[in-house]
C-alpha cells in the first residue's frame, strides 16, 4: 500500500503538478523529475519567479521523512522581481522559504525538517505605522551554496551566505555568513568544527 501511495505521488509529481503550477502564470518553473510528497504551498507574486531544478525533492508529508514535518513545504516569492531558485538534486522537508528579493539554494543541498529561510524582516523596524505599512522593510539576498546541509528547525536570516559543503546544526539561528567546509551551530550560529579532514586536497 505504502509503495502504491509513493508511486502515485511520483506520477502526480511528473504529470499533474507541472500543469497546476503552470496555471500560476508560468512564474513557477518545475524541472524534470521533481518529486513532490504531499502538496507544497507555492505562491509567486506577479513578475516573480520560483525555479525548482531537476530531481529536486520537496517533502510535505511526515510519512516520507524520518523526522516528520510540522507543515508542508512553503515557497513564497513575495514581491514582483523576487526569485527563489533551488538547484538540482536538492532535498527539502517541510521548509519555509520566503523571498522579497532573492534566495538561492545550490545543488544537492539538504534542508532538514522545518527549516526556515527568509531574505527580509516582513515588517518595518520603524515603529511609525509599522502594522499596516509595506515600506522600509529590510531585505538582503540569501545564498546557500552547493551541498550545504541545514539541520532541523534551523533559521537562516536575511543577508546570509553559507559556503559549499558546510553543515548547520539543528535549531541554529544563522545571522552572519558561514564559510565553506565547516560545521556551525547555535544561536547566533558560529563555527564549531572544520570539515577539512573530509575534503580531498
Ligand atoms: C551540528 C552537528 C552536525 C554537530 O555534530 P558533531 O560534529 O557530532 O558535534 P558534537 O556533538 O561533537 O558537538 C560539538 C559542539 O557543538 C555543540 N553543538 C552540536 N550541535 C549543536 C546544535 N545543533 N546547536 C548548538 N550547539 C551544538 C555541542 O554542544 C558541542 O559543544 P562543546 O564543544 O562546547 O561541548 C549536529 O549536532 C547536528 O545538529 N546535526 C543536525 C541533525 C539534523 O537536524 N538532521 C536533519 C534531519 S531532517
Name the closest-CA residue to atom 2, ligand 1. 169
Task: Please report the pLDDT score of residue 200 as a whole number.
Answer: 73
- The residue-averaged pLDDT of 152-169 equals 98
* Closest C-alpha to ligand 1, atom 24: 186
Q: How confident is the model at residue 13 (pLDDT cuts 50, 70, 90)?
A: low
How many Å apart are CA 20 and CA 131, to the nearest integer? 34
For residue 67, which atom of ligand 1 is closest to its CA? 48
Q: What is the pLDDT of residue 15?
A: 67
For range 187-194, the mean pLDDT: 98
Q: Which residue's CA is minimally distant from atom 22 of ligand 1?
A: 169
C-alpha cell at 7: 508511486
For residue 14, pLDDT over 70 is answered with no
Question: What are residue 193's DSSP bridge partners?
Answer: 183
Shortest CA distance to 96 belongs to which of 27, 42, 151, 23?
42
> Residue 39 is placed in which grid cell?
502538496
Alpha helices of 102-158 — where are they, by DSSP H?
none
- Identify the weakest region by mean pLDDT among 16-20, 33-37, 188-192: 16-20
Q: Any catalytic annotation for residue 197?
A: no
**Superfamily classification of domain 2-199:** Hexapeptide repeat proteins (2.160.10.10)
Residue among 67, 90, 94, 192 to mutate when testing ligand 1 (max atoms within 8 A of CB): 192
Residue 45 has pLDDT above 70, yes or no: yes
Residue ranges of domains in the chain = 2-199
93-to-6, 119, 173 alpha-carbon distances in Å: 16, 19, 18
Is the minimum distance from the CB of 112 to ligand 1 under 6 angstroms?
yes
E runs forming strands in the chain: 28-30, 35-37, 41-44, 49-52, 57-59, 74-77, 83-86, 91-93, 96-99, 102-105, 110-111, 116-118, 142-144, 149-150, 155-156, 161-162, 167-168, 173-174, 182-185, 190-194
What is the pLDDT confidence band of residue 120, given thresholds at 50, 70 and 90?
Answer: very high
User: Atom 43 of ligand 1 has which residue's CA nearest to it?
Assistant: 151
Segment 162-189 mean pLDDT: 98
Mean pLDDT over each residue of the chain, to the nearest integer? 92
Indicate whether residue 171 lines ligand 1 (CB < 6 A): yes
Tell me what the mean pLDDT of segment 53-67 comes to. 94
Amino acid at each position: 500500500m505504502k509503495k502504491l501511495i509513493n508511486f502515485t505521488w511520483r506520477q502526480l509529481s511528473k504529470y499533474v503538478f507541472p500543469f497546476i503550477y503552470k496555471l500560476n502564470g508560468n512564474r513557477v518553473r518545475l524541472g524534470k523529475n521533481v518529486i513532490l510528497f504531499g502538496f507544497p504551498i507555492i505562491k509567486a507574486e506577479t513578475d516573480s519567479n520560483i525555479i525548482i531544478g531537476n530531481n529536486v525533492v520537496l517533502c510535505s508529508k511526515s510519512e516520507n521523512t524520518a523526522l516528520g514535518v510540522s507543515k508542508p513545504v512553503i515557497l513564497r516569492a513575495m514581491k514582483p522581481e523576487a526569485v527563489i531558485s533551488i538547484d538540482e538534486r536538492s532535498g527539502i522537508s517541510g521548509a519555509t522559504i520566503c523571498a522579497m528579493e532573492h534566495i538561492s539554494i545550490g545543488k544537492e543541498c539538504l534542508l532538514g525538517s522545518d527549516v526556515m529561510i527568509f531574505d527580509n524582516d516582513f515588517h518595518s523596524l520603524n515603529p511609525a505605522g509599522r502594522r499596516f505599512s509595506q515600506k522600509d522593510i529590510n531585505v538582503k539576498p540569501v545564498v546557500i551554496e552547493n551541498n550545504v546541509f541545514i539541520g532541523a528547525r534551523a533559521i537562516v536570516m536575511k543577508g546570509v551566505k553559507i559556503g559549499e559543503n558546510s553543515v548547520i546544526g539543528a535549531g541554529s539561528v544563522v545571522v552572519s555568513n558561514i564559510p565553506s567546509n565547516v560545521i556551525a551551530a547555535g544561536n547566533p550560529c558560529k563555527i564549531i568544527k572544520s570539515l577539512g579532514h573530509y575534503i580531498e586536497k
